[in-house]
Chains A and B, each alone.
Chain A
Amino acid sequence: MQITLKLYAHLGDLLPAGAKHNKAEIEVLESISLNELIDRFQIPRPMAHLVLVNGVFVCDRDRDQAFALKPNDAVAIWPPVAGG
């Protein structure tokens, strides 16, 4: 199935070649967990600090759950960041 992967800040370089505006449409298995997605794009786990699926935060302990995503979901990931 297709989902949108968005990697921000320092993680942007880990997106597939040709990705624009920090996002890429990618194909994944329906059974994929968030940590499998994180590992597939070689994101160091501690750098996957803020993980949002369609804007909703998924905490660390829930990221191994299989079938975590639906077609056309948007997964956005940031390293530790802050501002204000």
Chain B
Amino acid sequence: MAWTKKILRVNLTDGVISAEPLNMEWAQQYLGQRGLATRYFVEEVDAQVGALSPDNKFIMATGPLTGTMASTGGRYSCITKSPLTGTIACSNSGGFFGAEMKNAGWDMIILEGKSPTPVYLYVENDQARLIPAEDLWGKSVWATDEEIHKKHQDPQIRIACVGRAAESGNLFAAVVNDLHRAAGRSGVGTVLASKNVKAVALRGTRGVGNIKDMKRFMDATFEHKKVLAANAVTGAGLPTYGTQVLMNVINELGALPTRNMREVRFEGAHSVSGEAMHEPRASDGKKNLTRNGGCFGCTIACGRISSVDRTHFSVKDKPQYWGNSGGLEYEAAWALGPDTGVDDLDALTYVNFLCNEDGIDPISFGATVAAAMELFEDGVITTEQTGGIELKFGSAEALVKIAELTARGEGFGKEIGLGSKRLCEKYGRPELSMTVKGQEFPAYDPRGIQGMGLTYATSNRGACHLRSYTVSSEVLGIPVKTDPLATDGKPELVIAFQDATAAVDSSGLCIFSTFAWSLDNIAPQIDAACEGDWSVEKCAEVGARIWQLERDFNMRAGLTAADDTLPKRLLKDAANVGPAEGKVCDLGAMLPKYYELRGWTTEGQLTPETRQRYGLPS
């Protein structure tokens, strides 16, 4: 349905659960999900709050198109203050959980305070209650999911929960829903666990409603699904190869960060690529990729369902991992593979399973292991710290052991759970941390794709590709090809992507739809579903407002312009091969113009005029 116009508020400290109406004035300004939940968050939470304090809040939010018949309308987000970055955190996930929340009749669930004992929240339409979860504490995501389904004897319950990593205080723990879809980044799972909440389980049977003009909405969603089906990327490329098709593209381009971003090409890239996932294995003739999979309402279905070779060292004595489960996406494959120098597809797939099983962001995990490997090779840490693990670049055995420890929050895995920034600071080598604002980079080297350098430096949640995916334009030619090595025009490009992405996220649709759709396709669907006038221009303005609101929160939280930067390695050490050979990321050529276009002072603060233009709260 479009907005249900209802919020479920759960005070965990005193156990009081209440329903309240959605602020429809804010809905017109911030649309839903990422934007609207952030508006609630900044209203209710002091930006200086400790992320793991009971005073932090945790919001699960849908968009107005979540749960509708709009293609890709299965998204929800977790909004909170991040323990990893100290910034606003907004992690978006697919699967079926978001649509279930909508079908239960809720736009958002706001969790506040802290439960005195472990609990899970169970919501069945209008009924919600906190249920003791001492028996679930200490269990993995997968075990918790199974137990809750058994307890309620209802296979159709949709569950989002945290694993042992979050319970152990791992700062990049994810919230995993539907077993292998995740609100993965920025440690949102860590916050949920800090509130003694193991899971949120939902059952919704109320169906779709509150669509402004049902006939127009059905016509619009039908027409624009045809666009997705006819597009070579969303109709063929993504379903067949998934996001992993990028591994060879980015490697060929000389922008594949390798061995903690020391290099920009990985000699083993093909072995861990989307194409390799289609090649029969020697042992049993099966492919790594079993099939593709789709989230609620999605007509793209880019998800990977994979299996590990049963004879592989990682699983040969562990039959519980012999079945099919969520396979490698590009970002995870990069972090676990090229960034650690490991070219073993089965090892990467197994570690990816572990990340799902115990709720770990594979990007931050892999990138932190890569930093630890550099610390190890430099002799800063030894087997004394790692518990005997030879933590060398390229070691699949080391990667697997560290993943098992990190999943359970044990041994050196506990230190990996600090994230790259804190780990490198602890051992006196902060320059080895490939992070922005404390969050680890994803899979694009900004020396070879300059716009991504500006994207990372200005992202409101630390280094992230999903805040403005200029790779689309700079590499893939969507919507138009731009030169990845040029800096001219990149501030404008980054801003356009940031604003459009904020609007798409806030609608409840998936950002991957934008490989075929622009706001010209998306705005008519929002407009047919939602009260008010939702033109392309208004959607873009709402996206810009959301960006400014997030920025304002971060500045209030204590961040400064000095945080809008990149590690020295990317600013000083030139790429060693490929088209970008001899180049660094020229952030200085882009950032001042970006500030100016955003309406910020040279110190990165919103000007009074900017605040007024977007009607931001004072």
A82 to B481, CA, bound (A): 13
B331 within 8 A of A: yes
Q: Give A47 to B233 CA distance when docked, in angstroms.
A: 11
Could you say which residues of chain B place their CB within 8 Å of the CB of A9?
237, 240-241, 245, 274-275
> A49 contacts B477, CB within 8 Å?
yes
Does B240 lie within 8 Å of A10, measured CB to CB? yes
The answer, yes or no, to whether A84 is at the interface (CB within 8 Å) is: yes
Q: How far is the CB of B526 from chain A (nearest CB, A)?
A: 22
B244 within 8 A of A: yes
Question: Mask for A60-84, Cβ within 8 A of B = 1, else 0?
Answer: 0000000000000010101111111
Answer yes or no: B515 CB below 8 A from chain A CBs: yes
A residues less than 8 Å from B254 (CB atoms): 55
Query: How near does chain A come to B494, taking the closest CB pair, in angstroms?
Result: 15
B270 beta carbon closer than 8 Å to chain A: yes
**In the complex the two chains form, is A50's CB within 8 Å of B232's CB?**
no
A6 close to B252 (CB less than 8 A): yes
> Which stretch in B120-128, B214-222, B465-473 binds the other chain?
B465-473
Residue contact A52 to B471, C-beta cutoff 8 Å: no
Q: Quick check: is B236 within 8 A (CB to CB) of the other chain?
A: yes
B303 CB, nearest partner CB in chain A, Å: 12
A1 to B466, CA, bound (A): 43
B270 touches A22 (CB 8 A): yes
Query: Does A40 sit within 8 A of B, measured CB to CB?
Result: no
Q: Interface code B311-335, partner A: CB below 8 Å = 1, 0 otherwise?
A: 0000000000000000001110000
Within 8 A of A (CB), among B233-253: 233, 236-238, 240-246, 248-249, 252-253
A22 in complex: contacting residue of B237, B248, B465, B579, CB < 8 Å: B248
Contact with A along B462-493 (1 / 0, CB 8 A): 00011001011001111001001000000000
How many angstroms from the CA of A84 to the CA of B249 in the assembled complex?
12
B249 and A8 contact, CB distance less than 8 A: yes
- The residue in chain B whose Cβ has the minimal distance to the Cβ of A21 is B270
- Chain B residue numbers with a CB within 8 Å of A56 are 579
Whether B481 contacts A59 by the Cβ 8 Å rule is yes
- Report which of A8, A59, A80 forms a contact with B233, defined as CB distance below 8 A: A80
Roughly how many angstroms separate A79 CA and B242 CA in the complex, as a whole number?
A: 14
Contact among A10, A46, A74, A78 with B236 in the assembled complex (CB-CB below 8 Å): A10
Q: Which of these, A74, A80, A84, contacts B237 with CB under 8 Å?
A: A80
Which B residue sits closest to A54, measured CB to CB? Answer: B579
A contact residues, total (Cβ < 8 Å): 26
Q: How far is the CB of B306 from chain A (nearest CB, A)?
A: 16
Give which listed residue, A22, A47, A55, A83, contacts B246 with CB less than 8 A: A83
State in angstroms the CA–CA spacing of A8 and B274 once bound together: 9
Q: Which residue of B lies closest to A83 (CB)?
A: B243
How far is the CB of A68 from the nearest CB of chain B, in Å? Answer: 16
1/0 per position for A1-26, CB-CB distance to B under 8 A?
Answer: 00000101110100000000110000
Known A21-B270, A78-B249; further 17 A-B contacts with Cβ < 8 A: A8-B275, A9-B245, A10-B236, A10-B237, A21-B275, A22-B248, A47-B232, A50-B475, A57-B481, A57-B484, A76-B248, A80-B232, A81-B237, A82-B245, A82-B512, A83-B329, A84-B512
B: residues with CB less than 8 A from A are 231-233, 236-238, 240-246, 248-249, 252-254, 270, 274-275, 302, 329-331, 465-466, 469, 471-472, 475-478, 481, 484, 511-512, 515, 578-579
Can you name 29 A-B pairs with beta carbons within 8 Å? A6-B252, A9-B237, A9-B275, A10-B240, A12-B275, A22-B270, A49-B232, A50-B249, A54-B578, A55-B252, A55-B254, A56-B579, A59-B481, A74-B252, A76-B248, A78-B249, A79-B232, A79-B236, A81-B237, A81-B238, A82-B237, A82-B243, A82-B472, A83-B243, A83-B329, A84-B330, A84-B331, A84-B469, A84-B471
Chain A residues near B (Cβ < 8 Å): 6, 8-10, 12, 21-22, 46-47, 49-50, 52, 54-57, 59, 74, 76, 78-84
